[in-house]
Chains A and B, each alone.
Chain A
């Protein structure tokens, strides 16, 4: 394979991987703190893409915005609105669907999560219909620059840089701030965290807000990248992001980001090799293999606790 092609495919993989990684973070954060596989999370992402579509069309945009200043402003607004709205949706879901079941057997919130998934799909479907709708691609999809003769799209670079920036911000928040410590301590030992003065309800709500906001950001990115969305978009992307989270080691945010990019490479790789139709089979085969042979994922938990 020549260098140009390799570069192009790598950029593609990173772009798709960035979207999976952003969604995977929400799965892994929620699992880390309340040990729930939030199956509604993919649909939070999907709803985020519809919120973006709604916002941009309501503002009257149909296609590429040429003026860079306007573009930057509209992009900032889109991310702000989608992330805030989806963050709030995440908090509401936790408050009314999961919190009442916090001490119930684990199967109960899991089934509830599947229920919430259907509720979100049905709400979106009833508002915007069952067919794919187009999302205004305000960043020019064709705009590119050349690296050694290979065209690289600005849109891809924007998505990769944005996703990495969000991930770095998340790591710094969780790793370095007081609220981040509250989240980690709640994840490790809820009761002990309370004894430190941590209000675990607020902390869990905050975790849902951040995870869902990241899914909202992924929703914006998805709209800009594909130019359309559909009410079932959350199911498959959600499953793949979940696979990414498991692959990286569920509960581990670095692992989720890594897993997302790995899935991106697997998907692009199998497409390149001519097995486009098999890419999902490959991804889920990997999920099964990981679950069987390395359930703690690539990175797993950093350290087992001593008795």
Chain B
């Protein structure tokens, strides 16, 4: 459609593109602006004003909300969240990478089935998936009772309502989001490079760590961001599996908006999550540019 007919001039083509943009993309872009861009900007604006008494805000400019975020209580929550989200990300990568690698080695017809089976749980209700772990980890639940029956432990141990339970729940929730981008990057990998490393005498382990892993790093980073950022903002898993003992940034944000009714401070906390997301994506883009460059150079040499 964009190729112009020989008879119409450049002006007509441009007019047609403009009409196409307005008619087709116009309504959607306006909708996204109204119900995503403006609301997110509003969060940024709110962070500089004072709280209203019953939620909402008072239009008096202040930096206090930002200053307050540096109070030891909140620093504690931030570092706690970073540790839990970081551990979650690491575990998800340790499980997800070999899984993605194995899927990429499957015969073509099995690969689609394998991938669909990876994403399938992700499309189901998130609360239900979290709830399933309440049953599994409960002191009367199947894990504890089989451990007791097997004689490994003499009495049920407290698995639920621990930071470990929160990490397991988060890994469970976001594992598909690691496997997909890692799989995509392994799939795209130029296998000749790995073969070349082998022919030049590198062991399989050496070829993996020197060639495969660095070249799939962009996918690994995307996967890591997709786990790390939503883990920070998740308030359901810490509440249901952590029993409220593990407080993460997500819980704080939820409480500021729905319970403490301090929207400006909640906005500051949310901006922390957004800026982390933006910084991590920027890092990913930079690294992926460098690696693609290296990959091409290596390809042309090989």
Partners in one complex: no
Interface positions of A (Cβ within 8 A of B): none
